[in-house]
Structure 1
Amino acid sequence: MSLLSKFATVGGATLVSRIFGFAREMLMASALGVGPVADAFNLAFRFPNLFRRLFAEGAFNSAFIPLFARSLEEEGEDGARRFASEIFSTLFTVLTALTVLAMIFMPILVKTIIAPGLAVCIDDPSAGGEVISCADRYEITIAFSRIMFPYLACMSMLAMVSGILNAFRRFFAAAAAPTLLNFILIGVISYALWIEADKQTIGFLMSWGVLVAGFAQLAMVVIAMRLAGFGVALKRPRWTKGLKRLLVLAGPAALIGGITQINLFVGQAIASFKPGAVSILQYADRPYQLPLGMVGVAIGVVLLPELARALKAGHLREAQHTQNRSLEFALFLTVPAAVALYLIPEPIIRVIYERGQFEPSATVAVASVLGLYALGLPAFVMIKVFSPGYFAREDTKTPMIATLISAGANIVLSLGLFWLFAERGIALATTIAGWLNAGLLFLGLYRRGLWEIDRALLKRVALVCLCSGIMGVALFFGLRELSPWLSSGASLHRELPALGGLVVAAMAIYFVLAFLTGAADRSQLTNLLKRRRGNRKPAAGE
């Protein structure tokens, strides 16, 4: 299976999950709008979700996979099973203790980490017209957080099992598992709307839905692992050499791999000082997570095992080629996506969310944040490309320093810009921090001779920017022509075809230009199509 086809497998599964995530957010926006209950749910969900991203896309993909692969190669499957059981037993014990402590001390966690703004809140009607006292906002945030916190344990163990599957080159189950969360929450919200439940009841039902989804996702990957012929046993935790090495690598790797989520978490904690700001940030986060998830997660999952395997075999030229082609792939898809999200955020938000409790004023607020997030999209994906260059060499110290610098910059900028531009200041700070992190990571690789930029990369990146710019011009004029169909007050049956036509036309312009100019690597795509045709089995009677 080629590098591109592996990206396509993981990216395709992630794309399906993100599409259903859109449906989930659309229903949630219609049911809760921008208000205290939506804020409470998003604040409570962000904390365990942060750890999901840290573990699933950070620590275990960056630290566990190389160590597990080494055990598999040097000690065989029995040694790898022993190593995996050691890690699983320790992880299970630590997570159980952490969950119990968090449930007990949740009021302190909410007040100091999850939503410090609630501790100094002054009663005032929210932007959506809901009047819920600050004390009630605080209490429901605690309640939602307690219900959802065990989701953290499920996702952390899921991350380990996913790491095992990825090491065996079984990418699909781990990439598809998050779709279960979206299916369950879509069902929960639909049921709540059908029985006409009030907003607080909907929030409680959604919180329980998240918990159920956590167990369902964990069960899915465990079954996939068993079908792959591998299993782990729960034993008494012991301090071993393998565990010590994992902790040395995993701590910095979790921080580095989850920098985007850390920045978002910090932003939401600061945004808790303004009612409605947390929900605005969350709703803006979803549209730009579609390309970020499809491309960034695919690269993060596939690139590290491929790079580690090439370096262990001494194939340095292959490793350099893999890095350059991965960056090409990342920019080929994310640069035009960033241009589109920056130029037409308001029609996108209006079509996705503006109905029910989600008012036109909320559309303007969310769109302004989305436009600023879009500017950082290429940087966030490039972080996924640059980080494996360090992790595959078991170097976590260098990227950790870069990450700490950018995280510090994000906190300082968020605190300063929030008081000037509210939630837009937080989005701008997140974007600046993302570019700073990506720049520092690349500079470290380049200076140490670990990344050699080839001519094909330079040529294609320049052409991608040119094609994206031309597409952007077409989008700008297309938006002006279609403004009567895309303005506030237009019906959905007019908005949806107008926006769909605009997006399809922009995509057609970009991809046609990309193939004509050579911005797209036609040889890789041709080989992928030939391979898929070759793998296709004739149906009966053919």
Structure 2
Amino acid sequence: MKEHELFRASSVMAVGTIISRITGFIGGVIMIATLGTALLADAFNVANTMPNILYNLLVGGALTAIFVPQLVRAFDDTDGGHLFASRLVTTISGILLALVVIGVIFAPQLVYIYAPSFSTPGFETEREIAIAFTRYCLPQIFFLGLFTMLGQVANARGSFAPLMWAPIANNLVVIVVFSAFLLKWPNVSVDSITDTQIQILGWGTTAGIIIQALILIPVVKKSGIRIRPKWGVAGLGKSFSLAGWTLVYVLISQIGYLITVNVATTAAVESAKAGITTGVGFTPFKNAYLIMLLPYSIVTISIVTALLPHMSKLAINKKIDDVKDQLLRAIKTVGVLTIPSSVAFLLFGPLITEVLFFGIDKNDGIYIGYVLSALSLGLVAFSINLVLIRGFNAFEDTRTQVWSILIINFISVGLSYLFLAILPSDWVTVGLGFAFSASYLIGLFITLRLLKKHTGVIHIRDFIGQHGRLLSASLIAMLPIFAISQYFGWVGSDQSSLVRASELLFVIVAGALGYFFAAKALRISEVSGITALILRRNKAAE
């Protein structure tokens, strides 16, 4: 896949991802305006995050890793892969349905695992609210699995865009539900929220996931794959063998995230005991993390999704050098957006979140920005790591990558507990951002070393020069703007919302233009390539 073909294949997905992330962020802003950033929001977010964690832990990661390469192989079967796809979808759907039932029964135990601090004497109400939200949100597991399976079938057939566009419907449902709730009940708290209100928010959130999955059914039909209920595991042996190591990989990853949730909610409870309610807890971390993921999602996921089926074919055909070239091209292209975004989040994190989270106290918004700045340090390494992991997947090696995620999470968990022990409770969540960044910066070198068994050595110097120029262009563009913002005291000012929004708009526009011209002056070919592609597309549309 040539560079311009890679850009073209990912452009539609990038647009879908941008709209999806923007609508998702709008939904997140409305959620915070509805629930705040303290313990009520943590109770909801722990419950709403749990289906994703459990799904990824038990099934999701394995599906993403094995489905595309195995489907590509299955297309050569006499039936064109229909039987393989039907058996896998049916079998996994049955497993997911069983997981939902088990999860609903053991919801109290799940809440205790993920947020043991809610069992602290005096916080029984938060615990009961979290359990109720969990039971209403757990059916999402089944529909997350259905969405992933149908989306991967479409991807294997070369249809990438629907997987990126379907989440927009989910986000719109969430926006409508929470907006209506906020208008009807503008001031809810742990002490005042009713069972009916909990049901509305819980089932409303789940409804978005259901719609997101069902949208893909006609897409798969159009792709030519006929999926029918087909029980049995015949022909799935290799898939489940590959899935075994992927499950270990995801298990380690989700244990790390479990520790993050535990540490964050513990900090929130300790802060509440001390009378501190500003910013702390899992909710600020989650929302800062979602903002950090925006540039990562726009370019990294779009490019990797377009790249994986083609890279799998190259790996099957033993074209090792071509696989390596594809990986390096993807890393360089991803850096065009993730590097300036990382610099922007580092310098302007508090300004960004103070303006965007307009429905909450100013100090709460600024605190989320501090977490975002801490997370930004690991954004580039995090994105590169995803590209490299897809390299393992192309070679159907789900075992070797386990060592990478093990070391990454060992570092993250160790630092998380260290920061919980030494930092004031109201700064622990910021410390979690630093723990995330440090773990992926170190883990990147581990992943590169492990991948060489398949691709040969990929040296840091193969892309560090280009990344260095991208970093230089970002600093040239943004440091003067940062100096201006500091001189005029834009963060935490008493200006109106309109004025602060204008300040952020200036930062975004001036920073983007400055970065573009600086990158052009430094002759960074990937920036020029993206620009040329956009101009060609616009010219073709005229």
Contact 2:40-2:126 within 8 A present in 1 as well: yes
Equivalent residue, structure 2, for 1:185: 174
Alpha-carbon shift at residue 534 of structure 1 (Å): 7.5
Tell me which residue corresponds to 2:343: 339
Residues 500, 309 of structure 1: alpha-carbon distance in 2 compared, 3 angstrom cutoff: same
Q: Superposition pairs for residues 414-493 of structure 1, below 5 Å?
A: 414-421=416-423, 422-446=428-452, 449-452=455-458, 457-484=463-490, 486-493=491-498
Q: Which of residues 349, 358, 361 in structure 2 aligns to 1:359?
A: 361
CA distance in 1 between counterparts of 2:131 and 2:461 reads 54
- Say if 1:61 and 1:304, in contact at 8 Å, map to a contact too: no
* Alignment counterpart, residue 233 of structure 2, candidates 233, 239, 245: 239
Contact 2:378 2:441 in 1 (8 A): yes
The normalised TM-score by structure 2 is 0.89
Contact persistence 1:330–1:381 (CA under 8 A): yes
**Structure 1 residue 204, shift from structure 2 partner:** 3.6
Deviation at 1:504, TM superposition (A): 0.9
State the Cα deviation string for residues 457-498 of structure 1 (Å, max 9, x = none).
4542221122122223223213124425x4332211100111
Partner of 2:70: 67
Distance of 2:182 and 2:58 partners within structure 1: 34
Match for 2:206: what amino acid? L
Matched, 1:141 2:141: no
SS of 2:159's equivalent in the other structure is coil
Task: Write the letter of the residue equivalent to 1:61.
Answer: T
Shift of residue 166, structure 1, vs aligned partner = 0.5
Q: Is the 1:376–1:431 Cα contact (8 Å) retained in structure 2?
A: yes
CA drift at 1:235? 2.4
2:208 equivalent in structure 1: 213
Shift of 1:36: 2.0
Q: Which runs of 5+ in 1 are unaligned?
A: 124-133
Unpaired runs of 5+ residues, structure 2, are 269-279
Report the Cα offset of residue 140 of structure 1: 0.7
* Cα distance in 2, alignment partners of residues 505 and 522 from structure 1: 17
User: C-alpha separation between the residues in 2 aligned to 1:227 and 1:434?
Assistant: 40
Alpha-carbon distance in structure 1 between the residues aligned to 2:249 and 2:305:
15
**TM superposition shift of 1:52:** 5.5
Written as runs of structure 1 = structure 2, the 5 A alignment for 1:254-269 is: 256=249, 263-269=256-262
Which stretch shows the higher mean deviation, 275-284 or 37-46? 275-284
**Aligned pairs for 1:268-307 within 5 A:** 268-275=261-268, 276-307=280-311
Q: Percent identity?
A: 25
1:498 and 2:509 matched: no
CA deviation after TM superposition for structure 1 residue 258, in Å: 8.9
Equivalent in the alignment of 2:410: 408
**Quick check: 83-92 or 455-464, which moved more?**
455-464
Q: Distance in 2 between matches of 1:181 and 1:385?
A: 26
- Opposite residue 167 of structure 1, the aligned amino acid is A
CA distance in 2 between counterparts of 1:37 and 1:499 reads 29
Following superposition, the deviation at residue 39 of structure 1 comes to 0.7
Kindly indicate whether the alpha-carbon contact (under 8 Å) linking 1:38 and 1:203 is maintained by their aligned counterparts in 2: no
Corresponding residue of 1:131:
none
Q: Which moved more, 1:252-261 or 1:147-156?
A: 252-261
Q: Aligned-pair distance for 1:227?
A: 2.0
Cα distance, 1:529 vs. partner? Answer: 4.0
Alignment-mate amino acid for residue 382 of structure 1: I
Aligned with residue 377 of structure 2, among 363, 375, 378: 375
Q: Does 1:226 align with 2:183?
A: no
Matched letter for residue 73 of structure 2: R
Q: What does the per-residue CA deviation read over 1:386-427, in whole Å, with 9 as the maximum and x for residues that have no partner?
A: 112211111111111111222222222212212223212222
Contact (CA 8 Å) 1:340, 1:475: kept in 2 or not?
no
In structure 1, what is the Cα distance between the partners aligned to 2:32 and 2:384?
31
Secondary structure of 1:483's counterpart equals: coil
Contact 1:342 1:372 in 2 (8 A): yes
Aligned partners of 1:504 and 1:190: how far apart in 2?
29
Alignment match, 1:43: 46
Displacement of 1:144 in angstroms is 0.4
Paired residues in the alignment total 518
TM-superposed deviation, 1:456: 7.3
Q: In the aligned structure 2, how far is the partner of 1:483 from the partner of 1:465?
A: 25
In structure 2, distance between residues paired with 1:43 and 1:49: 10
Contact map agreement 1:257 1:384 (CA 8 A) in 2: no
TM-score by length of 1: 0.89
RMSD: 2.5
> Which one-letter code corresponds to 1:472 in the other structure?
M
Correspondence 1:387 to 2:389: yes
Instruction: Give the Å deviation of 1:433.
Output: 1.7
Kept in 2, the 8 Å contact 1:57–1:258? The answer is: no
Per the alignment, do residues 481 and 55 of structure 1 end up closer, same or farther by CA in structure 2, a change over 3 Å counting?
farther
| Deviations 1:333-360, CA, capped at 9 Å, x for gaps | 11110111011111111101143xx213
Distance 1:450 1:391, change over 3 A: farther
1:239 alignment partner, SS class: coil
Q: Partner residue of 1:94?
A: 95
Aligned to 1:153: 142
- Residue by residue, what CA displacement relative to the aligned partner does 1:257-279 show, whole Å, maximum 9, x if unpaired? 79776644431122221334112
Q: Structure 1's 403 and 371: CA in aligned 2 closer, same or farther, altered over 3 A? A: same
Runs of 4+ in 1 over 6 A off after TM superposition: 54-57, 257-261
Match of 2:521? Answer: 516
